[in-house]
Chain A
Amino acid sequence: MNEKLPSIDAGKLPSYAFGPRGILWWGTLWMMAIEGTVFALAIGSYFYLYVHAPRWPLNAPPPDLLWGTLNTVVLLASLWPNRWLQKAATAQDLPGVRRSMVVLFVFTAAFLVLRAFEFAHLNVRWDLDAYGSVVWLLLGLHTTHLVTEAYDTWVVGALAYTGPFEGRRFVDAAEDADYWYFVVLTWLPIYGVIYWAPRGGG
């Protein structure tokens, strides 16, 4: 009954792909769209309260610049090993991926510790006033992303060492690197808002 019909032979096609060719890239993109919207709305709420407030910051001094700026430098610096991870992953060079993961692991530890110091030097409690609340919300939101990014890196890094490893795991490493870019780049506007908006002639 079923004489062979002409068909497209998918057998010879690759079994995984990097970047927008693969579905994981798109999944990460929509995650970034969601979290980007959350950040944008949180910054929007910050300026909504800023505009409605008689003075800004309300009843507290602006956050100390030291730890925030230091963390920004560390995060920007982390782009270099991240770039290295992405290149190694897309080149499917496992030793390269492993080495870059070690460096990234150090960076994750660094920026988490620095973030703890940032929280300690915000100079305001979350329950003091609307300013304190929205600053803690903004920093807290980004911190959840730092924690998830760090954890994602630890897990994919551990997998690179222990296996079971296969070609497509390189795609996971590459997506982890993409997400790292997102977490660092979204920090820049948030850093500007938390640390400089209260100082900008408010």
Chain B
Amino acid sequence: MSNGPEQLQPPAPPRPPGNSVPATANESAALERTWRDPPGLYGFFAAINHKTISKRFMLATFGFFLAGGLIALLMRLQLARPLNGMVGPDLYNQLFSMHGTTMMFLFAVPVMQAVAVYLVPLMVGAKTVAFPRMNAYAYWVFLFGGLMLYGAFLLNIGPDAGWFSYPPLAGPEYGPGKRVDFWAQMITFTELSALLEAIVIITTVFKMRAPGMTLNRIPLFVWALLVTQFMVLFAMPAVMLGSTGLIMDRLIGTHFYNPAQNGDVLLWQHLFWFFGHPEVYLIFVPGLGFLSAIIPTFARRPMFGYTAMVLALISTGFLSFGLWVHHMFATNLPELGKSFFTAVSMLIAIPSAVQIFCWLATLGTGRLNFRTPLLFVLAFFFILVLGGLTGLMLASVPLDLQVHDTYFVVAHLHYVLIGGAVFPLVGAVYYWYPKFTGRMMDERLGRWQFWLFFIGFNVTFFPMHLLGMWGMPRRIYTYTQEMGWTSLNLLATVGAAVIGASVLLFIVNLWRSRTHGAPAPADPWGGGTLEWAIASPPPAGNFDAIPVVYGRDPVWEAHERDRSAPAGVSGLAVDAREQLITTVLDARPDHRYVFPEPSIWPFLAAVATTVLFIASIFTPWAVVWGAVPVATAVTIWFWPRRGETARHLSLEQSP
């Protein structure tokens, strides 16, 4: 077996010595230089370090969250009084469509992936994510998709058919102009980004875990994110297919959703909700992951029922694909089919119940440390459980027929999404902010923010249950005095203002703590997982020596480890981006792989992709000529550089 062709490259120089365990000072310095992003403007666009990309991703999603929140405040102001002339029907339709689209596509799903891209490598003991350049490309595509949508919104081309845009209202005849096209193309952007991120995260967890981290030693947070990414893999294609069909209907006259030519408008609803329901679980399951990371640390004990929790996560993932028709109970689908979906929609509550009881058992047998992250997690038990129970009511066909598409559903979805994902997410930000920035967030501000958020939330959304029962439909831009909805709508608006205040406090806390926050040690909360074993903020290459894991909470069990067992992995290059690749089941070291170096081509490929997507809204031929720059950029991105190849050859060892 020839050891690679000789005539094409220079003879390989002898291999430089790798890192030692623990790494010496100059090894650490060398590793920092190797894994760091290049400086300057070029470095900004060529950065592929997973922590840099993740911080930008989190910032972008938080920015979209604020924009979506402002839009929500505008909506609440319009609904505060009957026949309020502040906003007309056309602008209001754009407002609620933008609010829903922003929160679902530009905030909820991507922020979970952004946090995962930062934390998963740290928690599984890897120096980087798999496919770091693709990770950067996915971020840029996401950012350009969000900016495109908001650019369109500012030009009065914001979507106006809701965040699920049912044809025929979103179809070619009743949705004139390019509004729904920009919405459908935004789907293409965000789904492409989500799918690529899913590939990155799954491959990182499968192939790059620290030696010894067998399947039953993977942290529960990583399990939650792993299950979420598998759901992304199988859910997103449905909405991409559906939105491609919608754009083809609108632009080149196909008849997928045209009943007159044997298309069917319900085909859209099936395709959308086959993605739609896993989508809301994509948002909720990472919330479960945050809880499973925060509760053990603040109960000072390992999570109760680890195996039950993992099985619950996996079964939630599977079941979420079986219940999309509960969004379509009011259509004329056969009744027997609907009863099946009632049953599955109810049974999916069991895995969540298992997890809630395991958390309660963990808290019930632990010693509690009431810090801000735990506060936000405890709010989950109040808000999510209430939202889950109203969900059971919506799962029943007769009850759903009364409250479907009313403000009861608006209340339910906010209880499960904000209670299930946003509260745990804010708790997670308080929990990992020290690791991201090396600074602690202010506890007092945190408590103020928590109580404002908790009270404001309930004051805003609990009355909506009643509004829904009193007949207030979703998405109405105004109502008359006789309806009797006035006082509760005013109350909800006041609550929304309180939520706004709490978000302001959050921004202040985030901003001030960057400079005035107390400096954070490596493990400020006494956590057990690997990310607490390295400095805050972590060095560019995370671990100077990749650790060897002997249990579920390596940091807690560090003192127990017997001194003769290997502590870490030595021999990885310090002057090249080498990362250990391990086997899937038992994480046994398999080979060391040199990872790609920073390159500006992912960014340029993302720009080319954006040009293709936006131009294809106006002419179908853009898909053809637009593909040329994309192919060129991707080819140059892939094409190996001579210098890089030479360095690889110096480290090359054939399998």
Contact = CB atoms under 8 A, between A and B. Distances in A.
Direct A–B contact present (CB less than 8 angstroms): yes
B12 to A, nearest CB: 10
A15 B591 CA distance: 6
B130 A7 contact: no
A6 interface: yes
B481 to A, nearest CB: 45
A126 B248 contact: yes
A139 interface: no
Contact of B581 (A23, A27, A35): A23
Given A14-B653, A17-B590, A166-B9, A26 B570 contact: no
Contacts of A13: 571, 580, 589-592, 653
B254 A137 contact: yes
A8 B565 CA distance: 9
A10 B18 contact: yes
A151 B630 CA distance: 12
Contacts of B584: 20
Nearest to A4: B20
Residue among A5, A159, A165 having the largest count of chain B Cβ atoms under 10 Å: A5
B350 interface: no
A163 B649 CA distance: 13
Given A23-B130, A37-B233, A30 B202 contact: yes
A21 B590 contact: yes
Given A48-B267, A49-B263, A133-B255, A22 B581 contact: yes
B226 to A, nearest CB: 12
A14 B591 contact: yes
B591 A37 contact: no
Given A23-B581, A27-B199, A94-B5, A48 B264 contact: yes
Given A4-B21, A92-B654, A169 B564 contact: no
Interface stretch (A38-46, A64-72, A99-107, A108-116): A38-46
A21 B568 contact: no
Given A22-B593, A164-B641, A164-B642, A49 B262 contact: yes
Interface stretch (B71-79, B96-104, B204-212): B204-212
B261 interface: yes
A131 interface: yes
Contacts of A130: 255-256, 258, 261-264
Contact of B568 (A5, A16, A31, A169): A5
Given A4-B21, A23-B593, A92-B2, A126 B254 contact: yes
Interface string A143-174: 00000000100010001000111111100000
A168 B262 CA distance: 51
Contacts of A5: 21-22, 563, 566-568
Contacts of B23: 2
Which of B17, B203, B594: most chain A CB closer than 10 A? B203
Contact of A129 (B261, B590, B642): B261
A11 B570 contact: yes
A198 to B, nearest CB: 14
Nearest to B203: A26
Given A23-B593, A58-B262, A164-B642, A15 B652 contact: yes
B383 interface: no
B572 A10 contact: yes
A6 B654 contact: no
B305 to A, nearest CB: 30
B257 to A, nearest CB: 9
B9 A168 contact: no
Q: Which of A10, A53, A134, A163 has the most CB of B within 10 A?
A: A10
Contacts of A23: 130-131, 203, 207-208, 581, 593
Interface string B543-574: 00100100000000000000111111111100
B209 to A, nearest CB: 12
Contacts of B638: 155
B216 interface: no
Contacts of B249: 133
A54 B233 CA distance: 35
Contacts of B571: 7, 9-13
B252 interface: yes
Contacts of B365: none
B262 A18 contact: no
Contacts of A91: 1
B199 A6 contact: no
Contacts of B654: 14-16, 92, 167
Contacts of A128: 255, 261
B21 A7 contact: yes
A41 B199 CA distance: 20
Interface in B121-171: 130-131, 134
A159 B636 CA distance: 12
A73 interface: no
Most buried by A among B5, B24, B565, B641: B5
A45 B592 contact: no
A134 B652 CA distance: 49
Interface stretch (B56-64, B86-94, B235-243, B430-438): B235-243
B589 A136 contact: no
A160 B105 CA distance: 41
A91 B566 CA distance: 34
A11 B652 CA distance: 11
Interface in A52-94: 52-54, 58, 91-94
Nearest to B570: A7
Contact of B566 (A7, A41, A164, A168): A7
B206 A2 contact: no
B631 interface: yes
Contacts of A92: 1-2, 4, 654
B591 A6 contact: no
Residue with the greatest number of chain B CB neighbours at <10 A, chosen from A45, A53, A126, A164: A164
Contacts of B254: 126-127, 132-133, 136-137
Contacts of A151: 631
Contacts of B270: 48
The 7 A-B residue pairs with the shortest CB-CB distance, nearest first, are: A11-B571, A133-B254, A7-B21, A127-B253, A164-B645, A7-B570, A5-B567
24 contacts: A2-B20, A7-B568, A7-B571, A8-B548, A10-B572, A10-B580, A13-B580, A15-B653, A16-B655, A17-B591, A27-B203, A37-B238, A48-B264, A52-B262, A126-B253, A127-B253, A132-B255, A137-B248, A164-B8, A165-B4, A165-B9, A166-B9, A166-B645, A166-B652
Interface of B: 1-5, 8-9, 15, 17-18, 20-24, 130-131, 134, 195, 198-199, 202-203, 206-208, 211, 233-234, 236-238, 240-241, 244-245, 248-249, 252-256, 258, 261-264, 267, 270-271, 274, 545, 548, 563-572, 578, 580-581, 583-584, 589-594, 631, 635, 638-642, 645-646, 648-649, 651-655
Given A17-B581, A37-B237, 16 more contacts: A5-B21, A6-B21, A6-B563, A6-B567, A7-B566, A30-B233, A34-B195, A38-B237, A127-B253, A128-B255, A130-B263, A131-B262, A133-B248, A133-B255, A155-B635, A166-B652
